[in-house]
Every structure is written in C-alpha cells, then in structure tokens.
Amino acid sequence: MQIKDIIKKVKQIEIRTKKKSEATLMGQYHSAFKGQGMTFSEVRPYQFGDEIRRIDWNKTARFREPFVKVMEEERELTLMLLVDISASMDYGTKTQLKREFVAEIAASLGFSAAGNNDKVGLILFADKVYKVIPPQKGRKHILAIISNILTADYVPSESKIDGALQYMMNIFKKKSLVFMFSDFEDEYDLKILRVAARKHQLLGMRIYDDKDSEIPDIGYSLFQDSETGRQIWANTSSARWRYEFAEKQKQKVRAVTDDFENSSANFMNINTGEDYSKFLYQYFRKR
C-alpha cells in the first residue's frame, strides 16, 4: 500500500468513525468511564455532615481536633489497544480484511476516548510484541494508531496472547481499559489472562470471517496454515468433514468465551462487516 493510499484510507476511516462515535458511542463511553475510582486530594478540618470513615485519625490525634481526608474522582483514563498482527488477521472474504475492520473499531474507540480527554496507547503483537505506541491524547495520535494497524507487517507465526498481556502489565502499571483484538486461534496461559483481568478492565474482541469456520465444497484441496505453514489435504466434498471442522471451531470459541467470563473479563465475537457500534454501545451501557 503506497503512502497516498494509506493517507486516503486513514481519512476515510476517520470520517466514518467520527460520525459514528459522535452519534452513538461517545455519550455512552463518557457515561461508562467518566471516573474509575477515588484518589486522595487534601486534608481539611471536619465539617458537620462529613462521613466518619473519612476522618484522618493520625492528624486528628496530632492536632486534637477532627480532620478528614478529601477524595476526588479519578478523571483521566488510559485506553490500551492490543492488536494481533499474526497472518490470520490479514484476511477477509467480505468488504474488509480483518486488519481493516480492527482499524475502524480502534478508531471509533480512540475518537470516543479523545472526546473524553483520555489517553490511548497501542501494542502490536504476534509471537512477540512488535511495536508499542505509548498512551497519548489528541486526534493526530489516533490517526497514527490507525495508520500503524493498517500498515503493520502481519507475521506468519502463532500469536502469543498471554505474552502481550504480560508485557502490558510489566510496562503499564496503572489500571487501564484494555481492548484486545484477535481471532483467538492460538493457545494461551489462562493464569496470565486471569491476572490481567484483575489488574485491568479487559475486553477480548474476537474478529472473525465466515470462512474461518465454514469450508465450501471444493473437492480435494490443499490447505496451509497462514501462521505455522503446516499443510493438509482434505476432502471438502465430505459433508461430515465440513461439519466436524465447523464444530471444532465452535468448541474453540466457546472455550475462549468461558475462559474470559471465568476470569471476570468481557468477551465478544464480531463478524467482519457487522455493525460493531451496537456491540460497543451495549458494552458501555453495562458499565
């Protein structure tokens, strides 16, 4: 993709997603994430009506009159986008590749966060972390994130979801809103998933194409795994083979969904080309 094509694509995504964000998502985002806890501000003398649990007993004992801690809502949030750039994400049979669909969703989230004066960061990963864009604010920063998702070199290797989560936890200590984009085709360490879900507010977003689980009848065919390079011959004319393949994919999705839910994280499946804003809208409303 040439530079002029990249700029054109980024502009198109910005126009589409800003309208969608302003129309449906930004208000829900603001309502859901207007504050994520309380932080200490100052100590002042006790006033009638103050809560007893706010009394600063050390200062009260020192000055022999009651003082209370004043708390304020934590306003600034950090939104982290973790994007799988393994080769299976550079694929699509509809109007968009998975990577293009991810870039559009990430743009909607990014502009919603920018409208809320929140920071947004990006981690691109596959078998390892390939690029990190530290959290910042502003439109230009969001456009840079979109461009990086679109232009990344998608890697022919298995994705290490747990490795990306561990890296994020090592680098970013503050609790963040974490949106992880992947097709979740590869295995991961459940313990790390559970730790990440405790430390951060985690949403797994499985981006899939219909053909990920539905193989058409095209006779004997050679299939190659885009990530591992493994090849197999299969008789796609066999209805039983096609059924068993589809069932294995469904079982895998159910297992990932259960893992996220049992880890107190959120998870959603979004087909390329679907109206993703309704999924995000519902997620924000639940918050």
- pLDDT score at 203: 97
DSSP per-residue string spanning 210-274: GGGT-----SEEEEE-TTT--EEEEETT-HHHHHHHHHHHHHHHHHHHHHHHHTT-EEEEEETTS
CATH topology assigned to domain 3-33+76-286: Rossmann fold (3.40.50)
Q: pLDDT: is 188 or 14 the higher one?
A: 188
Per-residue model confidence as pLDDT tens digits over 165-211: 999 999 988 889 999 999 998 999 999 999 999 999 999 999 999 88
Distance CA 161, CA 153 (A): 18
Distance CA 43, CA 14 (A): 45
Per-residue model confidence as pLDDT tens digits over 229-281: 788 888 888 889 888 888 998 999 999 999 999 999 999 999 998 889 889 98
User: Helix (H, G, I), strand (E, B), or coil: what is residue 132?
Assistant: strand
In the predicted structure, residue 39 carries a pLDDT above the cut 70: no
- pLDDT score at 71: 62
Per-residue model confidence as pLDDT tens digits over 75-114: 578 999 999 999 999 988 877 899 999 999 999 999 988 8
Single-letter residue type at 282: Q
Q: Please report, for the chain, the start and end positions of each structural domain, with discontinuous segments joined by +.
A: 3-33+76-286, 38-73
**Mean pLDDT along residues 205-226:** 85
Distance CA 59, CA 75 (A): 27
Q: Look at 36-40, 158-162, 278-282 and tell me which has the smallest mean pLDDT.
A: 36-40
Instruction: Give the rounded distance of the alpha carbon of 149 from its chain centre.
Output: 13
In the predicted structure, residue 282 carries a pLDDT above the cut 90: no
Would you place residue 57 in the very low, low, confident or very high pLDDT band (cuts 50, 70, 90)?
Answer: very high
Q: Look at 22-26, 41-45, 119-123, 215-219 and tell me which has the smallest mean pLDDT.
A: 22-26
Closest CA to 200 of 175, 165, 168: 175
Q: Are 161 and 186 in contact (CB under 8 A)?
A: yes
- pLDDT score at 17: 78
**Mean pLDDT along residues 130-136:** 96
- pLDDT score at 49: 76
**Mean pLDDT along residues 143-171:** 94
Per-residue model confidence as pLDDT tens digits over 113-123: 888 888 999 99
